Amino acid sequence: AAHPETSITSIKRFMGRRGSNVNLSEDALGYPLRADGNAPVTVSLHGREWTPEEVSAEILKLLKTLAGEGMIEPPEAAVITVPAYFNDAQRNATRKAGELAGLRVDRIINEPTAAAMAAWGAWRVGLGQTRGPRPMHACDGREPATGGESSCHLLATRLVLTVCWRTSSRQK
């Protein structure tokens, strides 16, 4: 990352988790993480504490904007995939992130189910649309220990390319 001190990675692994459910020695990521008792896990960034849901909402807002650029109408609804091992608290936190991003979350489905439905098996990240309410699909890694770094890398590459393209287009 160009600015590691302001970069948050692998936030998905903390969705819906409380401080008592986090082992800081196992989950240390290189950025300030607060995991106190029964309080939600938070990260410090730009002078405030962010929940994983808030960080994820910012990512979803960006995905919503990028997806809207290629559509006639911006997406209003989402079908979001989660790892099959996510519990109810993690699924609810994911739904909350979608809602914070301004999306109507129509469904939360397991990643293996989404892969089977779309016959994408090996794909790690997908954005797509369907007829009707145009849900957005955002999928990432299945490994709980890595937090989907492959997906983060793909998304970061896409964002960097988009920013570079927009910057160079404006300068011409």
- Please, where are the H alpha helices in 29-148? 52-69, 88-100, 111-118
Q: What phi-psi label fits residue 123: left (phi over 0), alpha (psi between -120 and 50 degrees) or beta?
A: beta
What pLDDT is attached to residue 94? 95
The predicted structure's pLDDT at residue 142: 43
Question: In this predicted structure, what is the pLDDT of residue 30?
Answer: 73
Task: Count Cβ atoms below 10 Å from residue 120 Cβ, excluding itself.
Answer: 14
Question: What is the pLDDT at residue 126?
Answer: 44
Rounded Cα distance between 119 and 129, Å, is 15
Tell me the torsion sign for CA atoms 95, 98, 102, 103.
Answer: negative
* pLDDT < 70 stretches in the chain: 1, 25-28, 119-172
The residues, any chain, with a CB within 8 Å of residue 42's CB and separated by 6 or more, are 33, 34, 49, 50, 51
pLDDT of 52: 92
What was the pLDDT predicted at 166? 47
Asked whether 146 and 118 are in contact (CB, 8 A), the reply is no
